Copies of this chain bind each other. A is one copy, B any other.
Amino acid sequence: MGRVVADISTSLDGYVAGPDPSLDDPLGRGGEQLHEWVFGLRAWREPHGRSGGETGAANDLVEEHVRATGATIMGRRMYSGGQGPWEDDPRADGWWGDDPPFGHPVFVLTHHAREPLAKQGGTSFTFVTDGVDSALEQARDAAGDKDVAIGGGAEAIQQFLEAGLVDELHIHLVPVVLGGGARLLDRVGPDDVELETTRVIESAGVAHLRYQVGATGR
């Protein structure tokens, strides 16, 4: 059975998205800076249908994560491009396009039942209304021996951490201060997780931090 890996970029002040997200600006003010490090990488360009791109340490770890992942779980805001009245609107289906970059089944945590969507390139979206345990069970089935990635946003990762379901936490710490927005570790307390640092790599200014997450035995 694969691991459950939460992998996300944060600002130095701990935010995964900036303040005031909207459909035009789903990552909030300044939030796009958290992801700039990945756009030039070969590992990002290839599944987005573009040639070329940087190789090196950052590319290696993204490729490693992509290769290891057999299914992804995400929150409805990440699915629909931010927080707002469109969250559960079928128009949000357009957000990831016809050929999303996952290439594997994606499970979306939501309160609104929806029919699954099949996309190109092996990506499908399945909407899960009965909680994190059910989403994980379905994602594990889909992933086989591969890992299940918790892709975000902050709230989805918090739910999995609080439920003790995360094996590894990968934080890509970007040297910007956002000053507001959605904090990765809000609601998470010392009774929820025990962390062990397993790897620290720096590449082009981003600190790639990897933690083993253990149960606290509470």
Report A's interface with B, CB cutoff 8 A: 12-14, 29-30, 171, 173, 175-180, 183, 185, 188-193, 195-197, 199-202, 205-207, 209, 211
Evaluate contact between B189 and A177: CB separation under 8 angstroms: yes
Evaluate contact between A188 and B193: CB separation under 8 angstroms: no
Number of this chain's copies in the assembly equals: 2
Evaluate contact between B209 and A207: CB separation under 8 angstroms: yes
Evaluate contact between A185 and B30: CB separation under 8 angstroms: no
Given A12-B185, A188-B13, A207-B207, A196 and B177 contact (CB-CB distance below 8 Å): no
Q: Which B residues lie within 8 Å of A201 (CB)?
A: 200
Q: Which B residues lie within 8 Å of A29 (CB)?
A: 190
Evaluate contact between B195 and A206: CB separation under 8 angstroms: no
Given A14-B14, A185-B12, A207-B200, A175 and B190 contact (CB-CB distance below 8 Å): no
Q: How far is the CB of A205 from chain B (nearest CB, A)?
A: 4
The chain B residue sitting closest to A200, CB to CB, is B202
Evaluate contact between A190 and B176: CB separation under 8 angstroms: yes
28 residue pairs A–B, Cβ–Cβ below 8 Å: A12-B171, A12-B195, A12-B211, A13-B183, A13-B185, A13-B188, A14-B185, A30-B190, A173-B209, A175-B195, A175-B196, A175-B211, A176-B190, A177-B189, A177-B193, A177-B195, A179-B189, A179-B190, A179-B191, A180-B189, A197-B202, A197-B205, A197-B206, A197-B207, A199-B202, A200-B200, A200-B207, A207-B209
